[in-house]
Structure 1
Amino acid sequence: MKTVLKSVVLAAGLVLTAQPVLAAAPQAKTLEQLLQDVQKDRLSDNKINKQREQEFLSARADKQALLSKAKSELAAEQARGKQLEASFADNEKQLAALEEKLTLAVGNMGEMFGVVRQVAGDAQSRFQTSIISAQYPGRDKEMKELAQSKELPELPQLEDLWFALQKEMTASGEVVKFKAPVITVDGEKKEMDVTRVGAFNLMSSDQYLVYNSESGTVDELSRQPESYMTDTVISFGKNTSGYSPLYVDPSRGTILTLMTQKVTLLERYNQGGTVGYIITGVLALGLLIVLERLIVLGGMSAAISRQRKSDTPSDNNPLGRILKVYENNRNVDVETLELKLDEAILKETPRIERGVSVIKVLAAVAPLLGLLGTVTGMIDTFQSITLFGTGDPKIMAGGISTALVTTVLGLVAALPLIFLHSIVYSRSQSLIHLVEEQAAGIIAEHAEKESK
């Protein structure tokens, strides 16, 4: 088709190019000349047309040859495809037969392979979290390769698996000391002497350590347990023979990590907030008053004891001042002396009982302040619930902590103040009773003298 179009285009080109030639040719002057010119042109056109037909026929023959060649190649490829399909089917049959032979040849070895992979996988998870890996790192990688292997294990690999399990069992019953890099609380890495107690604890000379299974490092705790636990670490490290008590973590570090989140006594106290500080102030004020009263009443008791042994009245104690009143009123009648002594006792009573009622009031105020903190804490809790709902308990923890801690602080402040108030009150009453007893004796003695 392309050859035909090419011939047409060429013919058109010839026609177009022929026009200027004709236009340029001289015009015929006679009919004979015109006839001759037409005959010449006709012969030229026939010659051109025959040339075009030959070109078209030759191109058509070429295309037919290409088509025949393509058909022959297609037939050859189809025959080759059928041959390959037959070969593929034969290979599938051979492969199935070989797999069957392999299954029969493997036999019990296949079951053993599954057991080995399972045991290796379990050992990998155990070694990854075991604190023994702090002393022997990289054991889990070997087990991982064996667990993920697609081939039958060889004898050296089975021996390595047995050796790793035996090493884990043996190390779990040892107490050993080794050097290892330790990540401190500040993020620094230091080389330390680490003591491993079986598969339970890692310790340095004075603190507990934990094994980080994710990074494969030994880390310091952000906060150590209470002192009575860390003291056993110190004594255990210093002991060279015999037995030494030690707190161990059967969860292999989980309990120690949780204990770092435990609230200390000071943090719990600070949860009481402003009300808790006020209760502490009330307790401190009450204790100061109690201390002052005990010192003053103790001094009064000692001075009264000395006065009872002396015949000379003194102004530094209540009994001496009462005796001085008696000395100044020896010549009055019994009724007047009794009134004078009662007046002196009434003057001494406020000095002796001063501050005792304040202690009682403070002991009553402390639990009321605790109740106030409880109410305010619950109000904060309900406000948090209103704003954020009950989805996150940490939001409500602040208000609940304030509510509970202030109640405890109020009771802790009230109990000792009540107890100390009873002591101070009984001490003051005993002094007042002693003074009244001495005054009554003076009056009786004076009345006896008058009756004679």
Structure 2
Amino acid sequence: MKTLNKFFTSIALCSFVLTANAQQATNLDDLLKQLEKGQIAQTQQNIEREAEFMAKKSQQDQLLKQAITSREQAVAKSTELENTYQVNEVDIANKTDALNKRMGELKELFGVLQQVAGDTRSKFQTSTISAQIPGRGKFLDEFAQSMGSSSKLASIEEIERLWFELQREMTESGKVHKFSAQVVAANGEKVQSDVIRVGGFNLVSNGKYLEYIDETGSIAELIRQPSNRYLESAAELTQANTGAVPFALDPTGGSILGLLVQAPDTQERIEQGGPVGNVIIALGVIGLLIALERFISLFFIGNKVNRQLKTSVASDDNPLGRVMLVKDNNLDADTETLELKLSERILKEVPVLTSRLTLIKIVSVVAPLIGLLGTVTGMINTFQAITLFGTGDPKLMAGGISQALVTTVLGLVVAIPMVFISTLLNTRSRGIINVLQQQSAGIIAERAEMAEPAEKGA
């Protein structure tokens, strides 16, 4: 029963498909005719496809035969080339062996030529002669590459050219030559200027040192110049026309000059001291100002005292005059009373003469102590850098060590002059005080001599 149901269902589906693709049949005979026509059309289409396939089948057979023939030809050609390669390889080995035997020491010579060409090219990269004679390195590059990348032998012309470049380098190294070139200033501006080349060592223009940059083929002014004593010699060389001129020559071709310009100047060294260094400098300035004021004050006081020593008329504009006025104002006083009054006057004059000298002495003592404080602080920073980064890079420790050393130097630089200044001022003030004490003792002795006859007469 189930089989019959499936059969009728299939017939119904086929009828539905045929009905969707064909005109609507009015009865079963029309449906049968349409079905028959469809079978005939489908059969005709299949016949055409089979014919087309058969026609292409012969074509495909022909293409296959052609491919097989091409493959066989390629295999034969490959076998022939492989045999030729093996024969050539043996032939090349034999000829190479024969060439090496015939070359003998020439092979070593060409190796030396290649090495010399490479070394000379490296020399030309840093030579200042290349600034005047550009393009010398191109031949050496081509020569070294041709000698190293292939078995090409150097020709006589190439060997002579290498010899010529070496000889020209040696010859020009002993000359001082002036030429015009475009110079890149420190601010980046390009100017045409006269450049003086000193052998193969230095370039100078307008009293400043220059450097040659091989990568760009340009001449540039050093951003940082060496100290004034080197610049003075460069200026003398720039202004000189004939004769011998002293000049600071760098025989390394720029290495020593590069280290000189990297060395910090006085201001940069002071800045390395940090806040502690600034405090020491401030103390030194204060001490110098106080010392200057004391020098001027004691100088005028000393001159007035010296003038007072030359006259018996007392004046109140100097310490000695004020001491002498005590005698004039106490003519009737006895010797002991006059002595006490003179001592009192001298004691009043001493603070004026020794004023602020203690501050100078304090500065001379405190400055090295502050420098020691900076030393300890700098070493603490150094050890912290070692703890964090190790000892692989010395530059990480340079800051702390610089602060430690600079503060110590600043403290000593301030303290040592302050000690001498303090001693000199104390000596100066003590000399004036001694004059006052001597004159006071003389006044007392004079009064005692005057009083002694009166006592005898009584």
* Range of TM-score over shorter length: 0.7 to 0.9
Partner SS, residue 208 of structure 1: strand
5 Å-filtered alignment, 1:210-225, equals 210-225=211-226
Partner of 1:330: 331
Give how far 1:318 is off.
0.9
Give how far 1:241 is off.
2.3
Does residue 372 (structure 1) correspond to residue 373 (structure 2)? The answer is yes
Write the letter of the residue equivalent to 1:328.
N
Partner of 1:119: 116
Partner of 1:133: 130
Q: Structure 1's 172 and 79: CA in aligned 2 closer, same or farther, altered over 3 A?
A: closer
Write the letter of the residue equivalent to 2:186.
V
Higher deviation after alignment, 144-153 or 382-391? 382-391
CA deviation profile, 1:177-220 (whole Å, cap 9, x unmatched): 11122222222322221111111111112111112233332221
Give how far 1:163 is off.
1.9
Partner of 1:349: 350
Distance in 2 separating the partners of 1:245 and 1:309: 58
CA deviation profile, 1:348-383 (whole Å, cap 9, x unmatched): 111111111121111111111112222222333334
Partner of 1:29: none
5 Å-filtered alignment, 1:40-439, equals 73=69, 77=73, 110-149=107-146, 150=150, 151-439=152-440
CA contact (8 A) 1:182 1:217 kept: yes
Distance in 1 separating the partners of 2:105 and 2:387: 67
CA deviation profile, 1:64-98 (whole Å, cap 9, x unmatched): x9799789959974777666666656555665666
Give how far 1:153 is off.
2.8
CA deviation profile, 1:26-82 (whole Å, cap 9, x unmatched): xxxxxxxxxxxxxxxxxxxxxxxxxxxxx9xx99xx89x979978995997477766
Distance in 2 separating the partners of 1:80 and 1:347: 127
Higher deviation after alignment, 412-421 or 268-277? 268-277
Distance in 2 separating the partners of 1:232 and 1:360: 43
CA contact (8 A) 1:211 1:253 kept: no
Higher deviation after alignment, 122-131 or 104-113? 104-113
Distance in 2 separating the partners of 1:366 and 1:85: 91
CA deviation profile, 1:133-180 (whole Å, cap 9, x unmatched): 111111111111122224233333233222222211111111101112
Distance in 1 separating the partners of 2:112 and 2:286: 74
Q: Structure 1's 135 and 448: CA in aligned 2 closer, same or farther, altered over 3 A?
A: same
Distance in 2 separating the partners of 1:148 and 1:451: 118
Taking structure 2 as the reference length, the TM-score comes to: 0.78
Higher deviation after alignment, 187-196 or 95-104? 95-104
CA deviation profile, 1:253-290 (whole Å, cap 9, x unmatched): 11112222111110110111222122112111111111
Partner SS, residue 222 of structure 1: coil
CA contact (8 A) 1:280 1:413 kept: yes
Write the letter of the residue equivalent to 1:307.
Q
Distance in 2 separating the partners of 1:177 and 1:339: 86
Write the letter of the residue equivalent to 1:284.
V
Distance in 2 separating the partners of 1:442 and 1:125: 91
Distance in 2 separating the partners of 1:68 and 1:310: 144
CA contact (8 A) 1:123 1:165 kept: yes
Q: Alignment RMSD, CA only?
A: 3.2
Write the letter of the residue equivalent to 2:348.
K
CA contact (8 A) 1:349 1:432 kept: yes
Partner of 2:25: none
Q: Structure 1's 278 and 143: CA in aligned 2 closer, same or farther, altered over 3 A?
A: same
Q: Structure 1's 68 and 220: CA in aligned 2 closer, same or farther, altered over 3 A?
A: closer
Partner SS, residue 178 of structure 2: strand
CA deviation profile, 1:280-326 (whole Å, cap 9, x unmatched): 12111111111111111111111111112222211101111111110
Write the letter of the residue equivalent to 1:349.
V
Q: Structure 1's 341 and 257: CA in aligned 2 closer, same or farther, altered over 3 A?
A: same
Distance in 2 separating the partners of 1:76 and 1:306: 133
Partner SS, residue 262 of structure 2: coil
Distance in 2 separating the partners of 1:76 and 1:271: 85
Q: Structure 1's 66 and 443: CA in aligned 2 closer, same or farther, altered over 3 A?
A: closer
Structure 2 residues not aligned, in runs of 5+: 1-28, 34-50, 454-458
Distance in 2 separating the partners of 1:351 and 1:155: 95
Distance in 1 separating the partners of 2:138 and 2:417: 62
Partner of 1:34: none
Distance in 1 separating the partners of 2:132 and 2:99: 43
Q: Structure 1's 451 and 400: CA in aligned 2 closer, same or farther, altered over 3 A?
A: same
CA contact (8 A) 1:185 1:220 kept: yes
Distance in 1 separating the partners of 2:236 and 2:123: 31
Structure 1 residues not aligned, in runs of 5+: 1-19, 25-54
Distance in 2 separating the partners of 1:279 and 1:88: 86
CA contact (8 A) 1:221 1:257 kept: no
Q: Structure 1's 325 and 163: CA in aligned 2 closer, same or farther, altered over 3 A?
A: same
Q: Structure 1's 384 and 127: CA in aligned 2 closer, same or farther, altered over 3 A?
A: closer
Q: Structure 1's 308 and 201: CA in aligned 2 closer, same or farther, altered over 3 A?
A: same
Distance in 2 separating the partners of 1:195 and 1:327: 82
CA contact (8 A) 1:345 1:436 kept: yes
Write the letter of the residue equivalent to 2:274.
G
CA deviation profile, 1:3-37 (whole Å, cap 9, x unmatched): xxxxxxxxxxxxxxxxx9xx98xxxxxxxxxxxxx
Distance in 1 separating the partners of 2:452 and 2:64: 171
Distance in 1 separating the partners of 2:133 and 2:143: 18
Give how far 1:418 is off.
0.6
